[in-house]
Amino acid sequence: MSMSIPEHDPRRSRWIPWVFVGGMLLVLLVNVGMVVSALTTFTGVTTGRAYDKGRAYNHVLEEAARQDALGWRSIVAVEARTLRLAVQDRAGLPVPGRVAGGLHRPMDGLQLPLVLAADAAGWTAAVPETPAGLWEVRLTLTDAEGHRLDIRQRVVLR
């Protein structure tokens, strides 16, 4: 009983090393693509002078507490390219004063000033033609005694 050992054909397994080479090239290409994407897109910096602003954060908290102590409440609405603002005190009475500010687009930093006119319900302003999307209303109300209320509200303009 003689056993025969099948002969080895070297051509049959020649492709195996090329699979490893191809796999490594694929990994290399994906990594290069991710490095290029990381270097050419978002920088990671969202605030200029972030360290200094972080050190002054207690001032931000104190300002927020001061504004909360006033008890004023603001209502901002945008309808048909008209911005309406009403500010009420603790008793629900309107707070008179002077309002200044504008619109800020968080996406690209575009800022547009608003001219607010007082009326019986508060203030109104015509919203200029703007790109549609998310905007932030940034207004400051100053009353006759010098008390300030910073108003920040995000709105979607169409």
For residue 95, the model assigns a pLDDT of: 92
Over range 12-32, report the average pLDDT.
93
Same domain, residue pair 82 and 143: yes
Range of the domain at 23: 10-40
Q: Which of 53, 59, 57, 63 is nearest to 149 (CA)?
A: 63
- 78 and 27 fall within a common domain: no
**CATH (domain of 121):** 2.60.40.3340
Do residues 103 and 148 both lie within one domain?
yes
Q: How far apart are CA 95 and CA 141, in angstroms?
A: 9
Asked if residue 86 is part of any domain, the answer here is yes
Question: Could you tell me if 108 and 150 lie in one domain?
Answer: yes
Asked whether residue 51 is assigned to any structural domain, the reply reads no
Task: Note the pLDDT of residue 158.
Answer: 82
88 located within any domain: yes
Point out which residues pair with 114 in neighbouring strands: 101
Number of structural domains (the chain) is: 2
- Rounded Cα distance between 56 and 30, Å, is 42
Q: Answer yes or no: is pLDDT of 1 > 90.
A: no
* Residue 35 lies inside a defined structural domain of this protein: yes
Instruction: Give a yes or no: residue 129 inside a domain.
Output: yes
Residue 94 dihedral angles phi and psi, to the nearest 5°: -65, 145
Q: Do 153 and 75 fall within a single domain?
A: yes
Q: What is the DSSP letter of 92?
A: S
Each residue of 74-111: pLDDT tens digit?
999 998 889 999 999 999 999 999 999 999 998 788 89
Examine residue 116 and state whether it is found in any structural domain, yes or no.
Answer: yes
Please state the φ and ψ torsions of residue 67, each to the nearest 5 degrees. Answer: -70, -35
Query: Is pLDDT of 29 > 80?
Result: yes
DSSP annotation of 71 reads T
Which position has the higher pLDDT, 64 or 11? 64
- Residue pair 152/137 in contact (Cβ under 8 Å)? The answer is yes
